[in-house]
A and B are shown apart, each in its own frame.
Chain A
Amino acid sequence: MIQVQARTDSSTLMQFASPIIAIALTLIFGSILFIILDKDPIQALHVLLIMPLSDAYNVGEMLVKMGPLLLCAVGLSLCYRANLWNIGAEGQLLAGALGGSAVGLLFVDSDSSLALPITLLAGIVSGMFWAALPTFLKIKFNSNLILTTIMFNYIALYLLVWAVHGPLRDPDGFGFPESAMFSDATLLPTLIESGRAHWGVVIAILAGIAAWVILSKTHLGFQIRVFGSDAPAAKYAGFSANKITWFVMLFAGALAGLAGVAEVIGPIGQLVPVVSPGYGYAAIIVAYLGRLHPIGAIAASIFLAVLYMGGDLAQIEMSIPTAVVGMFQGILLFFLLACDFFIRYRIILNKDANV
């Protein structure tokens, strides 16, 4: 008979195998779904997963999506390691886009070499500010971080929509809700001549490595890990909960803000009402799939970026609604959480029922 038994130590093997099994199960589940929808599952999976990597243009577009996903996920990984449920990456990203645009638009007629760094800095600071608000409320008033960060996501969205319809709208734009185009001096340089892939993704990978160094090689990183796994022990050791909270939240806000400003001065080139297709939320899945490890997040962000790109292609090639991506993301996270059961438990088969 089948029995479930708690493991004495959590399984390292399952820790790494779980994401792979979860991805496999998601693909099987997806195939069944496509059969039900009367779409060829082989072709659908080919379009979703292989085509995004099939030529230089598609790979470039995939990298465009990977940058913001990874930047947000690296920050979230640190927050979740510290057991702080920051769901606010989306709002911090939008704040970065808004703040960055407000400053970047000052350079519309300029070719100053300071335009780009100042605009980037404005985006980073805006993201940090947007993360600082719920952090302050948590530390000062003990308010629930999950709910406040979600609320700030909505507030950031409406602020951005208001700005793009109002003060930041292009005066020569025939009333369309769009800002003026940024000057060439403000735009992020592209990685290769053709395509839209820009330096954002390189910065994101460097940020991932930096976060890994902080987390595993520094005393601060040690404090974060202890605080996350056993808050009373951290308190006993004299670690400052407030300091750790401020650090991980501002770090996450800075990276998300950078992701936001890099979107508007990178692939988009102006401020528009829809800056992100939910990168900040998808980054939660990236963080989990990457095992809350900054290096794991790099691999996971490639998978989620491929899925985003595949969703766009699936709409063009097979007229499957792009919303299929969000559904796959949810299913993936479900399977991942289910597979994680086997990190803590094992199934044993007893031939002898008397044992």
Chain B
Amino acid sequence: MDIDLITQILFATIKTGTPLLLIALGEVICEKSGVLNLGQEGMMLMGAVVGFMSAFATGNLGLAVFAAMAMGALMSLIFGFLVLHLGANQVATGLALTIFGTGLSAFIGSGVIGETLQGFQPIIIPVLSDIPVIGKILFTHDLLVYISFVVAAALAFIANKTRLGLTLRAVGENPHAANAIGIKVLSIRYFAIMFGGAMAGLAGAYMSLSYTPMWVENMTSGRGWIALALVVFASWRIGNIMLGAYLFGLASIMHLVLQGMGWSISPNLLAMLPYVATVVVMVIISADQFKEKLLAPRSLGKPFDPRQMA
């Protein structure tokens, strides 16, 4: 393989990893607050369809991204109300959100199937993009990819270096103690859930406005679920999430790599790779039970009811 091919592969890795990065960044914040939202796939699909339809109707990509994020946050609010106020099972409610989002997105998007539009265009960053190899890989993307870099960096800072990050962790580790020192546990959890929803909406918008500028039913093809595995893989650490997202991105473009090496395998078999990779990764990381228990937010998936003090 020559250097041009490697550059191309790594460039495509970033592009394919970006939706996973965006959605996993939202989910990790949500999980750090102690809430497991399995509705990622549904929120992402709603973001994708609302983003595409807004852009199609107005031609304004910025507005479309905003609408997609608002939709994701709105969807997550339904989830938040059910699990935080009605104490509904988080797993079942998350599944309901995915089933609802899958159905609703297919329903409202049925009118724009087959339509196309001009999506986000690459912005070549001057000077930086002139760095050999790395410049082409990192600095010739579109706006949403750059946003994902910025959000990842900002979240890493907030989660590890600020009081807000500490509060979030306190709520996820021990909500009763957090409540006792006056932290409004449910408010923090609402905030984290809505952030997760908005990021899922953004990831959806990336799919339908940049990655493949069109709307197809179920176009996210399980990325919301892969992102959930990614968060476990990353041990709930934001730096690891970036690494993991690009590794999974690479797994999904293996056909490019294999073609470059002169192999020919059925595209349907290669399409399984990201899912097989996810299973393999899940097995490797969870085999060490002690480590996973140590790293996961301690109250993850458990309801907190301020009416009943433990």
* Interface set of A (CB-CB < 8 Å, partner B): 4, 6, 85, 87, 137, 141-144, 146-148, 150-152, 154-155, 158-159, 161-162, 165-166, 281-282, 284-285, 288, 321, 323-331, 333-334, 337-338, 340-341, 344
A337 touches B82 (CB 8 A): yes
State which of A87, A141, A151, A323 has its C-beta within 8 Å of the C-beta of B103: A323
Q: Are A323 and B282 in contact (CB under 8 A)?
A: no
A158 pairs with B104, CB closer than 8 A: no
The answer to whether A158 and B96 have CB atoms under 8 Å apart is no
With a CB–CB cut-off of 8 A, which chain B residues contact A323?
Answer: 103-104, 106-107, 110, 217
The 5 closest A-B pairs by CB, nearest first: A326-B103, A330-B100, A323-B106, A327-B103, A162-B268
* Chain B interface residue count, Cβ-Cβ cutoff 8 angstroms: 47
For B254, list chain A residues within 8 Å (CB): none
- Chain A interface secondary structure, helix, strand, loop or mixed? helix
Is A330 a contact of B272 with CB atoms below 8 Å? Answer: no
- For A344, the chain B residues whose CB sits under 8 A away are 87
* Overall SS of chain B's interface: helix
B257 within 8 A of A: no
Which residues from chain A contact B87 at a C-beta distance below 8 Å? 341, 344
Give chain B residues whose Cβ lies under 8 Å from the Cβ of A137.
279, 282-283
Query: Shortest distance in angstroms between B285's beta carbon and chain A's nearest beta carbon?
Result: 8
Q: Tell me if B283 and A327 are in contact (CB < 8 A).
A: no
* A144 and B96 contacting across the interface, CB-CB below 8 Å: no
The 8 Å CB contact of A329, one of B103, B110, B268, B269, is B103
State which of B11-19, B137-145, B200-208, B224-232 sits at the interface with chain A: B224-232
Which chain B residues border A85 with CB–CB below 8 Å? 91
B42, B271, B308: the one within 8 Å of A158 (CB): B271
Q: Is the CB–CB distance between A334 and B78 below 8 Å? A: yes
The reply to whether the CB of B89 lies closer than 8 angstroms to some CB of chain A is yes
CB of A147 within 8 A of CB of B268, answer: no
B86 within 8 A of A: yes
Please measure, in the bound complex, the distance between the C-alpha atom of A159 and the C-alpha atom of B271, giving whole angstroms. 9
Q: Are A333 and B279 in contact (CB under 8 A)?
A: no
A329 and B99 form a contact (CB under 8 A): yes
Partner of A143, one of B100, B103, B271, B283: B283
B299 at the binding interface (Cβ < 8 Å): no
Nearest residue in B to A333 (C-beta to C-beta)?
Answer: B96
Report the Cα distance A216→B171, complex, angstroms. 40
In contact, B276 and A155 (Cβ under 8 angstroms): yes
Please tell me if the beta carbons of B97 and A330 are within 8 angstroms of each other in the complex.
yes
The reply to whether A148 and B282 contact each other, CB–CB distance below 8 Å, is: yes
22 A/B residue pairs, CB under 8 Å, sorted by A: A6-B308, A137-B283, A142-B287, A144-B232, A144-B286, A147-B225, A147-B282, A148-B279, A151-B276, A154-B275, A155-B276, A158-B272, A162-B269, A284-B99, A323-B104, A323-B107, A324-B107, A327-B104, A333-B92, A334-B82, A337-B89, A337-B92
User: Which residue of the partner chain A has the closest CB to B268?
Assistant: A162
B191-228 residues at the A interface, CB under 8 angstroms: 217, 221-222, 225, 228
Residue numbers in A under 8 Å from B92 (CB-CB): 288, 333, 337
**B residues adjacent to A (C-beta < 8 A):** 38, 42, 78, 82, 86-89, 91-93, 95-97, 99-104, 106-107, 110, 217, 221-222, 225, 228-229, 232, 266, 268-269, 271-272, 275-276, 278-279, 282-283, 286-287, 289, 292, 307-308
Complex Cα gap A329–B289 (Å): 36
Q: How far is the CA of A143 from the CA of B65 in the complex (A)?
A: 35
B225 near A330: Cβ-Cβ < 8 Å:
no
Q: Contacts of B268 on A, CB cut-off 8 Å?
A: 158-159, 161-162, 165-166
- Contact call A326/B88, Cβ cutoff below 8 A: no
A255 to B232: give the CA distance in the assembly, Å. 31
**Measured CA separation A318–B283 after assembly (Å):** 48
- Bound Cα distance from A155 to B93, whole angstroms: 25
Contact of B99 with A281 in the complex, beta carbons under 8 Å: yes
Separation of A56 and B148 alpha carbons in the complex (Å): 56
New A-B contacts (9) at CB < 8 Å, excluding given A154-B222, A158-B272, A325-B103: A147-B229, A148-B282, A162-B268, A281-B99, A326-B103, A326-B107, A328-B103, A330-B96, A334-B97
* B5 → chain A closest CB, angstroms: 26
Whether B110 lies near A337 (C-beta < 8 A) is no
Closest B residue, CB atoms, query A164: B268
Residues from chain A with a CB closer than 8 A to the CB of B225 are 147, 150-151
